[in-house]
Amino acid sequence: MPRQHAALLASLVAAVAVTAFGGALNAYHLDVAMNVGIAIILAVSLNLVNGHTGQFSLGHAGFMAVGAYIASACTLRLGPALASASSPVLAQHSLFLGALLLGGLVAAVAGFLIGLPSLRLKGDYLALITLGFAEIIRVIFQNTPALGGAIGLNGMPPLTTFAWTYGWVALTVFTVSCLINSTYGRGFLAVRDNEIAASAAGLNPTRYKIVAFTLGAFFAGIAGGLFAHLKLAIDPRGFDFFRSVEIVVMVILGGMGNTLGVIVAATLLTLLPEVLRPVAEYRMVIYAALLIGLMLVRPQGLFNVRLGKSRI
């Protein structure tokens, strides 16, 4: 069994084990740990687009919103009907898996549709148009009464467990790092390094960009579904521009295109506001100062190594 498959299996087993013995952890710690997991999924998937492929997207929160709303709508509509099933817990969690996947797939379709026209643009223009599309997605949800309008959706069943969260974390990290270290995946790095040379070598840069965008959006949708069933209430404001920026900051701080660094940065940036809780009103000031400090000291990102050895 290749090293990466073994690592994936071990992570999945560990995630289930922690859930089984999760009673020992206090609820607050468990909640923070799951927030960290969701942040990792978001940051690692955005890193595929912004870091590895070099396409600066500011729209990740939009895809997260699609996943969150679609998954929530599924569990809210179909959940009550399953209460009478012979094994309600199993039925609920099967439904949750289906809802997450559907949310991810619809987000991926949104990513594909948005990616198709906008990836003809580069740099700042691409960043602006992805930001615009994410806002459009948000405004659509805000004005759809069936999805709660400005109030949003609430009363979702609390189905996001440690196992679900870290299972998806493992799957996201596995998919992205295996992809990047494959022969096909080296194309993403080639497109980032030099698009003209990539074309000249026989690669189709547009296709790579769309694959990155679609796959990134899929995992953002999954993260959205997990987020919705952890917080149990979502509203359009939760998926605004600042959420996108938060994820971009994790990617930049972790080091563009560096999966391990991005995981650490997502963890740090999620834990930091919690750790700073005792200083109350100065919390965000210190948070901002630390961010600026880190960027000054490590502009290249926290780490400078590639996760997983290249095969050649």
Partner 1 sequence: MLTVTNLSVAYGAIKAVNGISFEIPRGAIVTLIGGNGAGKTTTLQTISGLIRPTAGTIRFNDEDITRLAPHKIVARGLCQVPEGRMVFSNLSVAENLALGSYLHRDPEGVEHTRDYVFGIFPRLKERIKQTAGTLSGGEQQMLAIGRALMSRPAFLMLDEPSLGIAPRLVTTIFEKIVEINREQGITILLVEQNAHLALEISSHAYVFETGQIAVSGPSGDLRDDPRLKAAYLGG
**What value, to the nearest 5°, has the Cα angle with vertex 167 and ends 229 and 137?**
45
Q: Which of 87, 143, 304, 310 binds partner 1 (CB under 8 A)?
A: 310
Q: Tell me how many residues contact partner 1 (CB under 8 A).
A: 19
With respect to partner 1, which residue has the nearer C-beta, 33 or 180?
A: 180
CB of 135 to partner 1, least distance (A): 32
Q: What is the DSSP letter of 50?
A: I
Q: How far apart are CA 131 and CA 139, in angstroms?
A: 12
To partner 1, the closest distance from the beta carbon of 197 in angstroms equals 4
Residue-level length of the chain: 312
Query: How many angstroms separate the CA atoms of 179 and 167, rounded?
Result: 18
Show the site string, 186-225: x = touches partner 1 by CB under 8 A, - = not.
Answer: xx-xx-xxx-xxxxxxxxx---------------------
- 136 or 201: CB nearest partner 1: 201
3-state secondary structure string across 155-182: CCCCCCCHHHHHHHHHHHHHHHHHHHCC
The verdict on 180 binding partner 1 (CB under 8 A) reads no
CA 238 to chain centre: 14
CA distances from 86 to 83, 91, 92, 157 (A): 9, 8, 11, 18
Only one of the segments 10-18, 184-192, 225-233, 278-286 lies at the binding site for partner 1 (rule: CB under 8 A); that segment is 184-192
Return the number of the residue (26 or 183) whose C-beta is nearest partner 1.
Answer: 183
Shortest spacing between CB 253 and partner 1, in angstroms: 19
Residues making contact with partner 1 (CB under 8 A): 183, 186-187, 189-190, 192-194, 196-204, 310, 312
